[in-house]
Amino acid sequence: MKTAIIIPARLASVRLPRKPLKLISGMSLIERVYRGCAKAQGIAELIVATDSEEIRSHVESFGGKVVMTPPECENGTMRVATAAKELSQDIDVIINVQGDEPLIDAVVIEKLRECFERGPGVHIATPISPMIEQSDMQNPSAVKVALSRDNRALYFSRAPIPFDRDGEKSLSSGMFWKHIGVYGFRKKTLQQIMTLPMCPLEETEKLEQLRWLDAGYSIHCVSVDYDSVAVDTQDDVLRVESILTLRGQA
């Protein structure tokens, strides 16, 4: 089984203009994501999918590979699906790592790849981590997921789920999970979901994975020891820089 990583990136970010090129402790955001992905074992291809010539030039300057995609792509997944058509024909699985995950851990990618290797019936997979911070339960930017007993996603929400009606469950109960915005797809499945219309749940929550659940696709969730820090604001940049300093990686 051959696996590729595609990182979607665009300059037109509303909350943090020119986000992929934003310097974080002296290195651009997109380079940090790319170098983090490059550490993963068992990956046949690694590319950035973008509609920006400026991003292409920057990625190629540090030795990265780029596929140009149309500016009309409505989201990162569509950009990834478009770029996937340029991959080698023998690629079986595509992992979509968002271009705003500068602390991405290679282990997260490897666990997703292993999920597909173990289960031929796995068509979509995504990582999750135990909810640690109580503040994340009320933070709409921290997406929560409710799981079935076999670790398939029942629902994703920006609201606290499952709702603890009686207030008896602690964060350590194993009931509360945070979604990490990385996805693995069988190549055929990725092309299929691009034909799906938006559903009311997605329109309401602004979470595209609800479109796939609504259409009957199963999403397998893989538990990882990783707390995602996505960069959407300048405050996020400062938070990541603080973490890098503590790790001695700044």
Strands 144-147, 153-157: pairing is antiparallel
Tell me: the pLDDT tens digits for 193-232?
Answer: 999 999 999 999 999 999 999 999 999 999 999 877 888 8
Q: What is the pLDDT of residues 24-54, one digit of tens each?
A: 999 999 999 999 999 999 999 999 999 999 9
> CA–CA separation, 35 vs 62, rounded Å?
10
Supply the pLDDT for residue 140. 87
User: Do β-strands 45-50 and 182-186 pair in parallel, antiparallel, or remain unpaired?
Assistant: unpaired
Q: What is the pLDDT of residue 133?
A: 85
Query: What pLDDT, on the 0 to 100 scale, is given for residue 141?
Result: 82
Kindly report the number of other CB atoms within 10 A of residue 168's CB atom: 7
Which is it for strands 2-9 and 91-97: parallel, antiparallel or unpaired? parallel
pLDDT tens-digit map of 96-130: 999 999 999 999 999 999 999 988 899 999 999 99
**Average pLDDT of the chain, as a whole number:** 93
Complete domains list, the chain, with CATH: 2-247 (3.90.550.10)
List, in order, residues 6 or more apart from 159 with CB less than 8 Å away. Answer: 140, 144
DSSP assignment of 157-170 equals ESS-SS--TTS---
Enumerate residues 6+ apart whose C-beta is below 8 A from 5.
37, 40, 43, 45, 46, 47, 94, 95, 97, 109
